[in-house]
Structure 1
């Protein structure tokens, strides 16, 4: 497929490489670092460190693949746009729905993780956890309703503060590390590393989220890959360091706490440090939810524009516009998932696994699209082949939780089929005014895509 990129055909966004790095770090680092080191240690003991290292290695080609796609095809549809260019409307609708509907379940789980830290620090109850979670969801909705530039500035502040707090937790706790805490190294057997890695997919989901904001970057062809590369290094170092400290300092007791970061700080500063850890948890949660709400809101508008969701959602798909209708849908669905979890008392773990099942499906289609769309012999395409091998392993580890994205995929296909059956009665759809399928003005300033990526 031959594609061209036309300078000036779309409005230029205002996100810088530094703000983009902050969005990436917030989306990927997120709530995984405050909750999953303990959950992974419970699943595999000290051997969970191997799962963390493996996921860091897997995330590098994933990040490179999606960054190359975002640089080459900057559009608010993100992975859905890449699937449409590579495979057509139906796969685009499937991947768009899987991502869009994963964000409400994921955000409710993330908000509950942050709320658990506040509850533990204050000695509160489930009501404290739920109230904090609801407050977090309101806050990120307000930030994103103000526009992506405002969200980007908040994200930069969040990420800067959380890195300082994580480094503080490590510095305070590592003097209490004990080699004995690594014995036995694999208490549940080596096979337990697989289930631990399946949990950790949650921790490394996010490389695809920023593709929906690629058009909001200044000079996406340069800033998107740069931001992704910086984020891979920052996220990898912080994740492995915190996971090591949780095992080395807390030992078997790591599996008994919902707030491992608070326990690390408490070892160095005493019990009052849990308040500081609660603050770090809130920053991490806000950062992750902020990035996902921003990306999903843009995606919903693009899906409305392209006919994969009701056209009522299309407003806000153009770079620089705020997709408030799509954002409102995400917010409402997020609150519904939160209160359903509270009423059923299932906890956050099933939400994590349902969400990661959806993200693995998104990765599978997105990486396949990258292999088809990116130029031969390019670094991005080479990374996509490595990412595809990793995604196959992740699909195998997701097991029964793939039933959820399969159900969502079925619903997406039914909706697209219904829209097509109505099309003769409603008349042909209006030509899109933005995105990769919009009519472009004639201009001599054309750059071949192979020159960009």
Structure 2
């Protein structure tokens, strides 16, 4: 693992301020976000009545990824996540590729979350609101990670309250039809896999816990506890919400819904709750965006330390102890993408990058020895295979564009290494 360097004479070490509760909240803020408000409809369109099967498949792959990530994060408690794990276990190239996939994929995720905020708050000016949201949350992250954790805690509380209201309204409605939960009829295998790939987008937030490894107290104990706990809570919430929405809408109406949870409460006869759901969706997207910017900036910091990105981005602010330059650059890039991007395209592109990132995490976990805390062998193997299968099950445009960007990153790495060799004596 690389040692901390200095920038302008100031040590670039981050402070360990976050405990188990803070880490779990950051993970929940990333996962229980706009995904549950936006991902159910396209997933239902892909899988039909197999939506719950797709959710289960996504959860299994996410569990394997979470377990592998937790064991690796305990072994290498530094900012960067799989960028660090891949570098230490598989070699410099694989670490770089993981970091590249994460940064590029999650920038697309940030843009998607920002646009979700805009579409709920002011549909006619979605791009402008998205850019404003990115700027505001970049400022919050710049002030300090501890304040970010407190804000995330409040956001999670609001979103959970809204989701509970949706579930109660749906399950107590006379429109609820349990027969609509027949998950076997008309569900194709390919559709279930594509739904799982789309739903995985909403599960991937636990990476933020690992990427904050350098700011977590007692990371060897905290991270392995926080990641499975955050994932387990998220799975329960998603499953209950999916069942509730399916009981009042059914797979066909859910697939056509532009705002699934709002449509569900209207179908349940609780029209008064629809504006509350819209506010909840906007708050949820803000929570995801906050944690996403936090995680991308930390991976950018780690890559800048190793000069895979400009070394100036490795600076840590002497007072707030955050990677301030990395956060400002990431915020600027996300704002630019949010000003021009399409939400659905951003989600598909992001999913492929994230799945590639976790494939490398599982391959890295496979190389751990028993004394290093290696997980049971089937876990990283199933996680690796699952990531690859779900990646190729995504819509063709997402696969092609995502693969092209990964190849571009690999080519940039090769050119950089070739140039370094030519310059060496």
Fold-level similarity (TM above 0.5): yes
Q: Which residue matches 1:231?
A: 230
Say if 1:103 and 1:334, in contact at 8 Å, map to a contact too: no
C-alpha spacing 1:71/1:149, structure 2 compared with 1 (3 Å)? same
C-alpha spacing 1:208/1:278, structure 2 compared with 1 (3 Å)? same
Mind listing any 5+ residue stretches in structure 1 that lack a counterpart? 4-9, 120-125, 342-346, 429-453
Q: Which residue matches 2:296?
A: 296
Is residue 2:394 matched to residue 1:398? Answer: yes
Q: Which residue matches 1:436?
A: none
Distance in 2 (CA, whole Å) between partners of 1:185 and 1:136 is 41
1:142 to 131, 139, 142: 139
Distance in 1 (CA, whole Å) between partners of 2:183 and 2:390 is 26
Distance in 2 (CA, whole Å) between partners of 1:409 and 1:203 is 21
Say if 1:374 and 1:381, in contact at 8 Å, map to a contact too: no
Q: Which residue matches 2:406?
A: 409
Deviations 1:219-249 (A, max 9, x none): 1111111111211221110111111111111
Distance in 1 (CA, whole Å) between partners of 2:92 and 2:319 is 22
Distance in 1 (CA, whole Å) between partners of 2:215 and 2:294 is 11
Distance in 2 (CA, whole Å) between partners of 1:83 and 1:354 is 22
Is residue 2:353 matched to residue 1:358? Answer: yes
2:38 to 35, 40, 53: 35
Superposed displacement of residue 31, structure 1: 1.5
Is residue 2:60 matched to residue 1:57? Answer: yes
| Counterpart mapping for 1:50-449 below 5 A | 50-119=53-122, 126-176=123-173, 177-182=176-181, 186-187=185-186, 189-251=188-250, 252-267=252-267, 270-316=270-316, 321-341=321-341, 347-375=342-370, 378=373, 380-382=375-377, 383-398=379-394, 400=396, 401-421=398-418, 423=420
Distance in 1 (CA, whole Å) between partners of 2:160 and 2:319 is 30
Distance in 2 (CA, whole Å) between partners of 1:362 and 1:216 is 21
TM-score after normalising by structure 1: 0.83
Superposed displacement of residue 299, structure 1: 0.9
SS in 1 for 2:77: coil
C-alpha spacing 1:11/1:209, structure 2 compared with 1 (3 Å)? closer
Superposed displacement of residue 255, structure 1: 2.4
C-alpha spacing 1:398/1:268, structure 2 compared with 1 (3 Å)? closer
Distance in 2 (CA, whole Å) between partners of 1:184 and 1:398 is 21
SS in 1 for 2:383: helix
TM-score after normalising by structure 2: 0.88
Superposed displacement of residue 61, structure 1: 1.7
Distance in 1 (CA, whole Å) between partners of 2:47 and 2:355 is 21
Superposed displacement of residue 79, structure 1: 0.7
C-alpha spacing 1:12/1:327, structure 2 compared with 1 (3 Å)? closer
Deviations 1:65-87 (A, max 9, x none): 10111111011121111111112
Distance in 2 (CA, whole Å) between partners of 1:91 and 1:399 is 25
C-alpha spacing 1:374/1:110, structure 2 compared with 1 (3 Å)? farther
Distance in 2 (CA, whole Å) between partners of 1:185 and 1:418 is 50
Distance in 1 (CA, whole Å) between partners of 2:87 and 2:372 is 23
Deviations 1:429-453 (A, max 9, x none): xxxxxxxxxxxxxxxxxxxxxxxxx
Number of residues of Structure 1 aligned to a counterpart in Structure 2: 411
SS in 2 for 1:165: helix
Distance in 1 (CA, whole Å) between partners of 2:240 and 2:32 is 12
Superposed displacement of residue 184, structure 1: 8.6
- RMSD, aligned α-carbons: 2.8
Distance in 2 (CA, whole Å) between partners of 1:424 and 1:255 is 53
